[in-house]
Amino acid sequence: MGFKKILSSATAKAPSNIALIKYMGKDDYSLNIPANPSLSLTLNSLCSYAEVKLIEAPEGSITWLPALPQSVLQEDKGRIKTMSLSESGKCRVTAHIERVIAEASSVFLPYGLSFVSSDHLSIEVKTANTFPTASGIASSASSFAAITLATVAALAAEKKKLNQVLKENTHFRAELASLSRKGSGSSCRSFHGPWVLWQDKEVSSLRSSLPEMSDLVIVVTAEAKKISSSDAHRRVLSSPLWQGRQIRVSKRVAQLQEALVANNLKSISKIAFDELWEMHSLFHTSSEPFTYWQPGSVKVLKWFIDFLQQFDEPLIVTMDAGPNVHVLVRTSQANSLREKLSVSFPDFQILQDSQGSGATIID
């Protein structure tokens, strides 16, 4: 292999997010426009890293490499793992990077930013997660947010100026979130935090009076799910429960926003639990019924139903489109709850994370 002349390189970090009101069903599949609004909490260290390098080459190409980004090698102590992508997954990443390049002028120029020409360039991308991929912990969201931001940063003629605009201009961050959404819908929520509302094409942070929250994830299995979220979006439309869902969700979103401002954990807990059951009931009642639940999922949910009355304050229990169970709790009580969970479920890994503020450029 000959010497590679690297013209630019950037690494971004983007956190996962856990939705209490779910993104399920689409109005526009090509742009990932949701059929209903969603509301989520952005996490912090349960995240993805993406490294993008621009390399001088006579003919352009985009290559995903199964290796850790260089800037996280020193951090890797078994916690950060490179992703394993299928051929379709690699094509999806490549298509998104091409999309970011194609839209570079509309992203950069309105904010006084310049970018390098992508002519005669090859692009190499490396990605990694701190949690299991494709197991229902929103790895697609964090991955595409990180890939979007790393690509934009690698293209920037002045990375320092780009980073300043990213930190100071909420409109620019929203532009990047919208661009990321076209690769993975829920990735747009990973650009903001901690509490985030995504409605139609718009995504923004929300007011909240809650104390700092943490997410405990009971990992029933780290295996990749058999039914992709994209497939689930299509199948739920055939469920008899789909009728009226947009109305029900809009009502829940309004109630949840009020509860966040009022610091009403009891109301938030009920809304989140209702939404959990409704989304998974859509899966179970579609014309091609399917489930993400495993015996361990049911065991954990039953434990929470029995345990909720015994805890000092309401717990916020939810699940994404996967088998693993999330519980949000005040950060001050997270360690205590984790100990209880570890005793009750010694065979399941328990992940713990705090709330975060969204995607960042780290190199």
For 116-155, write each residue's pLDDT tens digit: 988 888 999 999 998 876 556 768 899 999 999 999 999 9
What's the pLDDT score for residue 1?
46
What's the pLDDT score for residue 132?
73
What's the pLDDT score for residue 177?
98
Helices (H), 182-330: 229-235, 245-262, 265-284, 295-307
What's the pLDDT score for residue 162?
97
What's the pLDDT score for residue 135?
55
What's the pLDDT score for residue 203?
96
Domain architecture of the chain: domains with CATH: 6-208 (3.30.230.10), 213-354 (3.30.70.890)
Note the maximum CA span of the chain: 66
Q: Please count the other Cβ atoms lying within 10 Å of the Cβ belonging to residue 184.
A: 24
- Pairwise CA distance, residues 46 & 216, whole Å: 11
For 5-43, write each residue's pLDDT tens digit: 888 999 999 999 999 999 999 999 999 999 999 999 999
Choose between 69 and 166: higher pLDDT.
166
Q: What is the mean pLDDT of residues 59-87?
A: 81
**pLDDT at 270 > cutoff 80:** yes
For 91-104, write each residue's pLDDT tens digit: 999 999 999 999 99
Query: What do you get for the CA distance between the two ends of the chain, in Å?
Result: 26
**Strand 61-65, strand 121-129: pairing:** parallel
What's the pLDDT score for residue 329?
96
pTM: 0.94
Q: What is the mean pLDDT of residues 352-357?
A: 96
**pLDDT at 228 > cutoff 50:** yes
| Residue 192, helix vs strand vs coil | coil
Residues in contact with 354: Cβ distance below 8 Å, sequence separation at least 6, in sequence order? 43, 44, 45, 212, 213, 214, 215, 331, 334
Contact between 68 and 50 under an 8 Å Cβ cutoff? The reply is: no
- To the nearest 10°, the Cα dihedral for 54, 59, 62, 66? -80
Q: How far is CA 274 from CA 38, 105, 277, 340, in A?
A: 14, 43, 5, 24
DSSP state of 75: T
**pLDDT at 2 > cutoff 60:** no
For 185-201, write each residue's pLDDT tens digit: 999 999 999 999 999 99
Q: What is the mean pLDDT of residues 219-239?
A: 92
For 240-257, write each residue's pLDDT tens digit: 999 999 999 999 999 999
Please tell me which of 4-8, 190-194, 218-222, 223-227 the model is most confident about, judged by mean pLDDT: 190-194
Residue 323 phi/psi, 5° resolution?
-90, -10
